[in-house]
Amino acid sequence: MTNKQLREQAYKTLHDVFGYTAFRPMQEDIIMTLLEGRDAFVLMPTGGGKSICYQIPSLLRDGTGIVVSPLISLMKDQVDSLTACGVRAAYYNSSLKATQAKEVLERFASGELDLLYVAPERLLSKSFMQKMEQVKIAMFAIDEAHCVSQWGHDFRPEYVRLGELREHFPHVPMLALTATADEHTREDVTKRLKLEKARRFVASFDRPNIRYLVAEKRQPLTQILQFLEGWPKASGIIYCLSRKRVEDLAVNLQRHGIRAAAYHAGMPGRTREKVQDDFLRDRVKVIVATIAFGMGVDKPNVRFVIHHDLPKSIESYYQETGRAGRDGLESEALLLYGSGDVNLVRRLIENVENPEQRRVEVHKLNGMVGFAEALTCRRRVLLGYFGEALEEDCGNCDICLDPPETYDATELAELALQCVRELNGEYGMGYVIDVLRGSNNARIREQGHDKLKSYGRGHDINADEWTSILRQLVHHGYFVQDISRRAAMRPTKKAEKIGVSGEPIILARYKPGIRRELRRLGKAKDEALFNKLVELRQQLADEEDMAPHVLFSDVTLTEMSQVKPQDMASLSRISGLGQHKLDAYGERLLALIREHVAESPDAEEQADQDIPKLIAKGPPVNDNQAYTYSLYRKGMSVEENAAHQGISKATVLNHYIALIRAAHYIDVPAYFGDKFDTLMQELDDADPYASLSEIKQDLSIETTNEEFRLLLAWREAIGVA
């Protein structure tokens, strides 16, 4: 088969089996590499869409695809999800009874399986290796590949021998996948798996659908309750530093009517399993947990992750927040940040014996504090930490959405410096503030600090505001807090420049409360219909004994509640509905939607309008264009789409043009709104001998070059030009 034919087949499978219209960035190239019989190494963040990269080649190549994964608990969900798409898949691990295991092996031996998930120790058993020699193997996928390396954070001894596969099966293509690997681990993994020649794919670590928010921690319970009001019915995780906090918070949330449950390593294994299962099956909405929770929990529709306490490093923060929004839908990560936490973590670090390790941990904590106190785009700070540079601010973090007001704080900084100096660098932040504000407290009087020149000179600024100022000054490196002496504030060398260099010190204006404002998406979903669909999903999932999200993702339900398809043809255009699911559940979905539309007259108005059929005039779209399309389909406007990806509006419009030329539907009339009809009319009337730039100039409505080309592409695609 030629490359072109292979590519077409991959697209067809993506569409018919999985119900998706476009590949995500890199998926297509990875799949093609395997289809050409070569090895690949893939580093992609959680939720990036790794599974399809081995599922499609396994379906298209002769024989069975073998997937090795250490996470036995996830295998059933994965196999359920494939079975629901009509794929012949099974798993082979220690959770199977002897008769079940035998049956799986028989199906494998008779070549009946497209995919087989295997636990590593089973795979490397003599008998299974022999079996594999006799059966045709399509490919090997090594999931969570970082587990082979001792440098990674999750080393599994049973993974080490996986390198043998390359020797025994030199001609079977192999794919190693991971979401967490630094350079060092990556080298080690490729070496141990003997994948030196593999093509490497390193995806961006950005998770554009996660909105990063940081709020000053004041009254955490109230703040969390307030935050949860914005996410009624949604699933989320709240991380706390200690078991005690976990338990207290879970009880408090339950008292406020929230379906919350606690999870930490001190609970009996059985209880933990039940909590986890209740969460996966949407019986529990909010998990309050220590960091023990998460590894091996693959729930795509977690809408928010809250950090009640400060994580110890950006790596852990990134991994924990990364559990939100794996389905690509809008999600939020909220960090409650209090200076008390910083001191608490610092004290924990002080107990670390090994000085080298202590140094590393302090460094990591400082990185985290830097993130929390940043006044620039959070995503920029986060990705910068992982060595990735953002071209533009992200537009989807608290700083971007609500940029802090800045002001010249030079005089205040001078005052603070004076006070700290007068106190000989021996007192902590709280005391410094008390002196500045002229507090009438006994300790200050006893020490005679009410006689200092700076005493009371900052009385017109409240304590919270002073805290914010001093903290920012620490963050900017003018002061340090000496952890060996109860966090005493001391000026640094840089402080000598305060007020001297003539350069103003610009700080962010203090602002209490959570800075969050949910941006509305372009096409609002019908909440009532969405909720009915969620109920139906629960019912169907119970009938099939599956987790609800395994059957239909939230993306699929959201699209249905936006588009409201009322016949099989429009239903089949919904993302995530392949042929098998349409056959099995299509009628019941349609019945529910039709009933809903009949019951609510205003729903009818917005119901699926007849979408014009577009004619393909251009080449198929590339990954970037496909990604733009997937965001468009989620209802984003051009601006939101651009902000989401950190690209310009013009680039998004260029993607639209390519998409339309490839016969993807983009609602161009809606983009131009009232102006559309006029523009189309004027184009119809244009002088057939005029050049395009002349035509553009003659339009009564000004358009950018991209907008003009968008109109032309549309006319071409609907067949009028």
Residues that bind Zn ion (CB under 5 A): 377, 379, 393-394, 397, 400
326 binds ligand ADP (CB under 6 A): yes
DSSP 110-167: TT--SEEEE-HHHHTSHHHHHHHHHS-EEEEEETTGGGG-SSSSS--GGGGGGGHHHH
Name which of 98 and 389 has its Cβ closer to Zn ion: 389
Name which of 400 and 621 has its Cβ closer to Zn ion: 400
Helix axes 27-35, 3-16, angle to 10 degrees: 120
The number of helix segments (H) and strand segments (E) in the chain equals 34, 17
In sequence order, which residues have a C-beta less than 8 Å from that of residue 358 and are 6 or more positions away? 349, 350, 352
Contact letters for ligand ADP, residues 1-20 (x by CB under 6 A): -------------------x
Q: Please tell me the total number of residues recorded for the chain in this structure.
A: 721
Kindly state the smallest distance separating residue 627's Cβ from ligand ADP, in Å: 9
Which two three-digit tokens encode residue 614?
């577009």
Maximum pairwise Cα distance, the chain: 93
Which partner, Zn ion, ligand ADP, none, binds residue 709 by CB below 5 to 8 Å per kind?
none
Kindly state the smallest distance separating residue 211's Cβ from Zn ion, in Å: 9
State how far the Cα of 204 lies from the Cα of 208, in Å rounded to an integer: 10
301 binds ligand ADP (CB under 6 A): no
Residues 660-679 that bind ligand ADP (CB under 6 A): none
Which partner, Zn ion, ligand ADP, none, binds residue 326 by CB below 5 to 8 Å per kind?
ligand ADP
Name which of 381 and 487 has its Cβ closer to Zn ion: 381
State how far the Cα of 114 lies from the Cα of 151, in Å rounded to an integer: 33
Kindly state the smallest distance separating residue 28's Cβ from ligand ADP, in Å: 9
DSSP-derived pairing of the beta strands 235-239 and 89-92: unpaired
Kindly state the smallest distance separating residue 213's Cβ from ligand ADP, in Å: 23
**Contact region with ligand ADP (CB under 6 A), list: 41-49, 452-460, 523-531, 580-588:** 41-49
Which two three-digit tokens encode residue 428?
């902590």
DSSP-derived pairing of the beta strands 406-408 and 506-508: antiparallel
Name which of 173 and 328 has its Cβ closer to ligand ADP: 328
DSSP-derived pairing of the beta strands 40-43 and 199-202: parallel
Residue of the chain from 34, 49, 290, 558 that contacts ligand ADP (CB under 6 A): 49
Which partner, ligand ADP, Zn ion, none, binds residue 400 by CB below 5 to 8 Å per kind?
Zn ion
Kindly state the smallest distance separating residue 179's Cβ from ligand ADP, in Å: 7
Residue type, 531: N
State how far the Cα of 323 lies from the Cα of 335, in Å rounded to an integer: 14
DSSP 68-89: E-S-HHHHHHHHHHHHHTT--E
Which partner, Zn ion, ligand ADP, none, binds residue 394 by CB below 5 to 8 Å per kind?
Zn ion
Which partner, ligand ADP, Zn ion, none, binds residue 444 by CB below 5 to 8 Å per kind?
none
Name which of 201 and 672 has its Cβ closer to ligand ADP: 201
Residues 227-266 that bind ligand ADP (CB under 6 A): none
79 binds ligand ADP (CB under 6 A): no
Which partner, Zn ion, ligand ADP, none, binds residue 397 by CB below 5 to 8 Å per kind?
Zn ion
Pair 53, 143: CB distance under 8 Å: no
State how far the Cα of 390 lies from the Cα of 399, in Å rounded to an integer: 15
Which two three-digit tokens encode residue 670?
């809606």
**Contact region with ligand ADP (CB under 6 A), list: 214-222, 321-329, 400-408, 513-521:** 321-329
Give the angle subtended at the CA of 344 by the CAs of 341 and 345, to the nearest 5°: 90
Residue type, 257: G
Kindly state the smallest distance separating residue 42's Cβ from ligand ADP, in Å: 9
State how far the Cα of 557 lies from the Cα of 534, in Å rounded to an integer: 7
- What number of other Cβ atoms are within 10 A of residue 168's Cβ? 10
- What number of other Cβ atoms are within 10 A of residue 490's Cβ? 17
Using CB atoms, what's the residue nearest to Zn ion? 377
Name which of 285 and 379 has its Cβ closer to Zn ion: 379
Residue of the chain from 10, 44, 82, 335 that contacts ligand ADP (CB under 6 A): 44
Kindly state the smallest distance separating residue 52's Cβ from ligand ADP, in Å: 5
Residues 540-559 that bind ligand ADP (CB under 6 A): 553
Kindly state the smallest distance separating residue 379's Cβ from ligand ADP, in Å: 19
Helix (H) or strand (E) holding 176: strand 174-178
Residue of the chain from 52, 258, 334, 657 that contacts ligand ADP (CB under 6 A): 52
Kindly state the smallest distance separating residue 76's Cβ from Zn ion, in Å: 38
327 binds ligand ADP (CB under 6 A): yes
**Contact region with ligand ADP (CB under 6 A), list: 281-289, 323-331, 517-525, 700-708:** 323-331
Torsion, CA 66, CA 70, CA 75, CA 77, rounded to 10 = -130
**Contact region with ligand ADP (CB under 6 A), list: 121-129, 182-190, 309-317, 320-328:** 320-328
Torsion, CA 422, CA 425, CA 429, CA 433, rounded to 10 = 0
Which partner, Zn ion, ligand ADP, none, binds residue 51 by CB below 5 to 8 Å per kind?
ligand ADP
367 binds ligand ADP (CB under 6 A): no
581 binds ligand ADP (CB under 6 A): no
Which partner, Zn ion, ligand ADP, none, binds residue 23 by CB below 5 to 8 Å per kind?
ligand ADP
Residue of the chain from 35, 40, 50, 174 that contacts ligand ADP (CB under 6 A): 50
DSSP 422-489: HTTT-S-HHHHHHHHTT---HHHHHTTGGGSTTTTTTTTS-HHHHHHHHHHHHHTTSEEEEGGGTTEE
First to last CA, the chain: 36
Pair 119, 72: CB distance under 8 Å: yes
Name which of 382 and 505 has its Cβ closer to Zn ion: 382
Name which of 120 and 220 has its Cβ closer to ligand ADP: 120
Residue of the chain from 10, 11, 13, 24 that contacts ligand ADP (CB under 6 A): 24
- Number of chain residues interacting with ligand ADP (CB under 6 A): 18
Which partner, ligand ADP, Zn ion, none, binds residue 377 by CB below 5 to 8 Å per kind?
Zn ion
Which two three-digit tokens encode residue 368?
């985290």
Which two three-digit tokens encode residue 266?
């001190």
Name which of 146 and 217 has its Cβ closer to ligand ADP: 146
Name which of 361 and 398 has its Cβ closer to Zn ion: 398
Burial 73-103 (b: 16+ CB within 10 A, else e): bbbbbbbbbbbbbebebbbbbeebeeeebee
Name which of 51 and 561 has its Cβ closer to ligand ADP: 51
Which two three-digit tokens encode residue 404?
């802090």
Name which of 85 and 717 has its Cβ closer to ligand ADP: 85
State how far the Cα of 714 lies from the Cα of 721, in Å rounded to an integer: 9
Residues that bind ligand ADP (CB under 6 A): 20, 23-24, 27, 44, 46-52, 300, 326-328, 553, 575
